[in-house]
Amino acid sequence: MGASEAVTDPSSLYQTDYMANDYDYDTDVVHTVRNALASVQNGESDNYDELVGVMHVKEFSNTDAVAQLASVLDALSGSVACIDIIHHRKILSAIFGMKLWDHGDVVMDALVGLIVSLAATSGKYLDSCLNMLVSNFLPPPSVIKRHSDTRVINKKREVLSRVHAALLKISVLVPLAPSRLLPMLAHKMPKIHKKDQSVVIYVENLLKLENSSIGQVGGSRILMMVMERLRDLDLEIGWDDIPQDDSSRGMFDMELEDPVEGIMDEGDELPVGSLKEDTSGENIVSELLDKLMVTSFDHLESCQNAGRLDQVFENLFESFENYILNTYKSKFTQFLMFHACSLDPESCGVKFASKLMDIFLSSNKPRATRMSAVAYLASYLARGKFLPVSVVASMLKRLVDECADYCRTCNDDIRPEAHRIFYSGCQAIMYVLCFRMRSILDVPRFRSQLIPLESILMHKLNPLMVCLPSIVAEFLRQAKAGGLFIVSDSFIFDDLLESELSRAFGGCERLDTFFPFDPILLKMSNSAISPNFNYWTMVRATYDEEDDDDDAEIIVNGDEESDEDNDGDLDYAMNKMSITPKHSFKNNMERDRLMKMPSRIRPSTSPESL
Amino acid sequence: MEGLKLSDAELMVYIHPSQSRNVYKAICRQLSSLLFQYDETFDGVLLAYDLTVGSKQAKILAGLAPYFGVRVNTKLLLFDPKPNSLVEGKILKVSLESIHVVVLGFSAAVITDVDIREEFKYRMKDGEGRFVSRSDKGHVLKGGTMLRLQVQSFDAEVMHIAGSLLAANTGCVKWLEKKNGEALHMDRDRKRRKLAYTQVGET
């Protein structure tokens, strides 16, 4: 067929020769397309306009038009060198405006092939191609609403597999593409005020990129983006409903309720519907955060399966240090670290503790950062069920030695504000021992490492008076029962959570009541965390008598299930605490209340709003 | 390979006071931020640097933050492929319309079909595309081959080279070197033979 005939009636060409020899047909289409592109330079735009018209398919059910579109796209990818960025602006904007989600398999493959050709063949189109692919991370808004529909899930898999394959191909052919991609990823992230499923899909895509070869270049930046978004959502969940100063009102009861309410099953009896009305805005945010946390947990698990969790952990810790460590209002995001550590206790678990310890001991870091690091360390050592006692003991030894050194060399100022780091260190030691006293004292070597503790606590700086009263009371009770040492002065605090002195050392950030790994209140995240989490109810304190052990075994075995059975049944849970068959504790209500560990002030995602 | 040059440069690097604890590290960080970017002053893409601190004295700038300027003597490795220069790279992908090459591991180069000389014909073998020379079947351009190409243009922003294989001294590097070697060898042989004949002729 002569070139001139093809040009005058391109549409007939496609239809009559559609079933003909594929190779000849393709070259004909290529010639037609190349001629149409070239004709623009000569001032004749009819064929070119027709070409552009083919790109804008209106009815997707018109199979001929769709087939025509696919063949034109294929022809274009073979003629990339003929495309000029200025003269062919219309067709380029048509290409970059196309959404993979609107099209079927054949057109998707052709379009993706064209994008890869364009990106690889000329540097001028690289940015637009990458932009187009990133904007295909998210389906159109109408599809997002039906995100749990099976057809949508299948379509999502088809589109995203092609998008990611294209990004990888481009990054092979153009080695510097990943560094140009990263700013685009940040730019195109759904804005914080959009509270629909789109941010979850986008983060899934980001994490998938992190897992790929592009992650080798940009993995740390991607994790920072994700961590930042998690933190921003976390901070939106407020504490408004809880009266902050009511220290006598059941602050101690919170810990008891937390594991119970957090692990609510699907078939739960609580009237969830009515509860939602109160704080519906924040409910959306907490659900969104929950989904994002679970997505991130899944990603960490896949990193562990691929054997790269160690390397990812370094980047993860960097993001944690930048975004979370100094954000005292962060409630749940830190559990990302907890989960990563639980997946690989020997390596990541130990690394996390040592890095926190290094921050605490480093005199270069700001004071608030050091105090926050030791609070994280204490909460982590107490709550990490997967941590071997030896790790806890070695960390405790370092803390004890550091505090002992400080006692020897400190100045004479007796104001709590002057020794804040020291007090936070002491409080950390006491907090960890409240959870781990029995297991530490059981091993003579670890027990002997705690000997300097007595002199620290008896020092003129008087940490027992300054640190949080509830913790001090519980610690002393356990220390006495365990035979660690006996404190001659009696410390009766009337179950105060906090005192003037603790507030003084805690400062305006309230680092004296900072327990970052207190039970997580997001439903789905909690189910992921709870198998590795040390609830206070599960802790065997030193004053629990010997013959309780049998009962303790029965109750504590297979604990998560038994916890879940106790939805909202406080009395049963209370009974679980007092595990002696003779119920000797039950009579002493005062003692029961003191036995419970203080939690942070509960956020509004409490049973009332969950 | 042309396009690489080594330059000596005397630079003044301004360091923020917070970095004064480890000045060498701060200087390295400043210079590293220029890596793999085209710089007009250097006239090329900075690939690597080697530095020595000129003097321990540094001038403090007046201003909000008292930056101080350290004199540094550097050796810079720059990549600056001028048009019509020759560069070498590894072929990543061969298709009917183009050959995709990566130069020095970071720069993407593309040779489109119009810039491949007539001598080369496209063939498919084992599902992979390749270009084979019509005159010498041994001269093959396929995935993994080291290719010498001529630079037509260089887009500094994305480090993209538009190349061509029109010139006769372009093609597979191994094949070209072999040909050169043979040519030299033949030259030597021819000279020797000529000498021998003239000697014979004289006797």
- pLDDT of A336: 95
**Which among B36, B106, B110 has the least Cβ separation from residue A121?**
B110
Write out the two tokens for A171.
């990054």
- From the CA of B124, how many Å to the nearest CA of chain A? 14
Does position A572 have pLDDT exceeding 50, yes or no? no
Task: Give CA–CA dist A370/A424, Å, rounded.
Answer: 9
Q: Which long-range contacts (CB under 8 A, 24 or more apart) does A574-580 make?
A: A574/A256, A576/A537, A577/A256, A577/A537, A579/A544, A579/A548, A579/A551, A579/A552, A579/A555, A580/A544, A580/A545, A580/A547, A580/A548, A580/A551
Same domain for B171 and B116 = yes
- pLDDT of A496: 64
**Which among A81, A121, A172 has the least Cβ separation from residue B92?**
A172
Write out the two tokens for A498.
């906090």
Residue with tokens 């070197």: B177
More confident residue, B100 or A43: B100
Residue B202 lies in a domain: no
CATH number of residue B165's parent domain: 2.40.50.140
pLDDT band at A278 (very low <50, low <70, confident <90, very high): very low
Q: How many helices (H) and strands (E) does chain B have?
A: 2, 14
Percent of chain A with pLDDT over 90: 42
CB distance B97–A81 less than 8 Å?
A: yes
Does position A566 have pLDDT exceeding 60, yes or no? no
Q: Which ipTM score applies to this complex? A: 0.83
DSSP B102-160: EETTTEEEEEEGGGB-TTEEEEEETTEEEEEESS-TT-EE-TT-EEEEEEEEEETTTTE
Task: Give CA–CA dist B54/A310, Å, rounded.
Answer: 41
**Which among B100, B113, B114 has the least Cβ separation from residue A120?**
B100
pLDDT in tens, A136-146: 999 998 888 88
pLDDT band at B203 (very low <50, low <70, confident <90, very high): low
Residue B190 lies in a domain: no
Task: Give CA–CA dist A231/A289, Å, rounded.
Answer: 9
CATH number of residue B55's parent domain: 3.30.1490.120
Sign of the dihedral through C-alpha A573, A576, A577, A583: positive
- pLDDT of A516: 93
Task: Give CA–CA dist A281/A605, Å, rounded.
Answer: 11
- pLDDT of A239: 61
- pLDDT of B54: 84
Establish how many alpha carbons lie within 13 A of residue A458's alpha carbon, considering only the half-sphere containing its beta carbon: 10
Which range among A308-317, A487-496, A573-582 shows the weakest confidence by mean pLDDT?
A573-582
* Tally of domains in chain B: 2
More confident residue, B140 or B54: B140
Does position A264 have pLDDT exceeding 50, yes or no? no
Over range A83-87, report the average pLDDT.
85
CB B147 within 8 A of CB B169: no
Residues of A in contact with B20 (CB under 8 A): none
Question: B interface toward A at CB cutoff 8 Å?
Answer: 36, 92-93, 96-98, 100, 102, 105-108, 110, 112-114, 155, 157-160, 162
C-alpha to C-alpha distances, A248 to A174, A434, A464, B123, nearest whole angstrom: 64, 21, 20, 84
3-class secondary structure, A33: helix
Same domain for B135 and B96 = yes
- pLDDT of B103: 93
Does position B199 have pLDDT exceeding 80, yes or no? no
Does position A418 have pLDDT exceeding 70, yes or no? yes
Residue with tokens 């739960």: A268
Over range B138-146, report the average pLDDT.
91
Over range B172-176, report the average pLDDT.
91
pLDDT band at A7 (very low <50, low <70, confident <90, very high): very low
Same domain for B69 and B49 = yes
Amino acid at A459: H
pLDDT in tens, A116-164: 999 998 888 999 999 999 999 999 988 888 888 888 899 999 999 999 9
CB A421 within 8 A of CB A399: no
CB distance A175–B105 less than 8 Å?
A: yes
CB A115 within 8 A of CB A166: yes
Same domain for B128 and B75 = no
- Of the candidates B40, B55, B79, which is a domain's last residue? B79
> What's the pTM?
0.80
Residue B150 lies in a domain: yes
**Which among A121, A122, A175 has the least Cβ separation from residue B102?**
A175
Closest Cα partner for A461 from A513, A403, A407, A399? A407
List the domain range (segments joined by +) for residue B112: 85-180
Task: Give CA–CA dist B180/B193, Å, rounded.
Answer: 20
Residue B194 lies in a domain: no
- pLDDT of A56: 83
Does position A399 have pLDDT exceeding 90, yes or no? yes
Same domain for B172 and B91 = yes
Closest Cα partner for A249 from A599, A492, A577, A604? A599
Phi and psi based region of residue A494 (left: phi greater than 0; alpha: psi -120 to 50; beta: remaining): left
- pLDDT of A253: 38
- Between CA A154 and CA A161, with CA A156 as vertex, the angle to 5 degrees is 100
- pLDDT of A65: 84
pLDDT band at A484 (very low <50, low <70, confident <90, very high): confident
Residues of B in contact with A174 (CB under 8 A): 108, 158, 160
CB distance A123–B97 less than 8 Å?
A: no
pLDDT in tens, B69-97: 999 999 999 999 999 999 999 999 998 88
Residue of A nearest to B162 (CA): A122
Residue B193 lies in a domain: no
- From the CA of A26, how many Å to the nearest CA of chain B? 13
- pLDDT of A488: 61
Same domain for B90 and B17 = no
CB distance B160–A123 less than 8 Å?
A: yes
- pLDDT of A413: 81
pLDDT in tens, A53-70: 888 876 777 788 888 888
Task: Give CA–CA dist A603/A241, Å, rounded.
Answer: 8
**Which among B96, B108, B114 has the least Cβ separation from residue A175?**
B108
Residues of B in contact with A182 (CB under 8 A): none
Over range B47-58, report the average pLDDT.
90
Residues of A in contact with B96 (CB under 8 A): 78
Does position A238 have pLDDT exceeding 70, yes or no? yes
Task: Give CA–CA dist B168/A416, Å, rounded.
Answer: 83
Task: Give CA–CA dist B98/A272, Å, rounded.
Answer: 62
CB A59 within 8 A of CB A41: no
Residue with tokens 């519906």: A280
Residues of A in contact with B157 (CB under 8 A): 123
Mean pLDDT of chain A: 79
DSSP lists the bridge partners of residue B46 as: B78
CB distance A121–B112 less than 8 Å?
A: yes
